[in-house]
Amino acid sequence: MDGVDLDEGGAPRSILVVEDNVLMRKLFVRCLEEGGYAVVEAESALDVIDMMRESPPDLVVMDIVMPGLSGVELIKQIRADADLRAIKVVAVTNLATPADKRRLADAGFDGHVSKPIKPKEFLTSIAGFIEPMGPA
Ligand code: MN
């Protein structure tokens, strides 16, 4: 937990990471934890709706290309759910053409971070959606 000032008083904000690639997922998780977030991970999109209902995260960071249920299909389910639709969801993907970005925005993503990630820039991008610590 380097870089976290425990005297700040607030509670860490929670991020749900949805990514099927284990190495990529571990990288995101480690990076976000070092940035001071409380992180929960899902290796498949299939359980995510249930996980979000049980414990709504402050932000979801989501891969797009996943077996079973893609990120685009999952975001449509989230945006159609009255209890979950207000939660911010960011796509992390190498689908980065202007057409891809428009398709992701149209599907309901709040933003887009390109793969491959660089940890420092990744944290800066994520902090633009939500800061690591909530109010005291
Ligand atoms: Mn994937």
User: What does pTM read for this prediction?
Assistant: 0.91
Percent of the chain with pLDDT over 90: 89
How close is the Cα of 29 to the center of ligand 1, in Å? 15
CA of 136 to the centre of ligand 1 (A): 36
CA of 41 to the centre of ligand 1 (A): 14
Rounded to an integer, the average pLDDT of 120-131 is: 96
pLDDT tens track for 10-29? 899 999 999 999 999 999 99
Q: Please state the rounded mean pLDDT for residues 44-57.
A: 97
Find the 8 Cα to ligand 1 centroid distance in Å.
36
Cβ contact 73:91 at 8 Å? no
The Å distance, Cα 7 to ligand 1 centre, comes to: 37
Say if residue 127's pLDDT is above 70: yes
Mean of pLDDT values over 103-127 = 95
Give φ, ψ of 90 to 5 degrees.
-115, 130
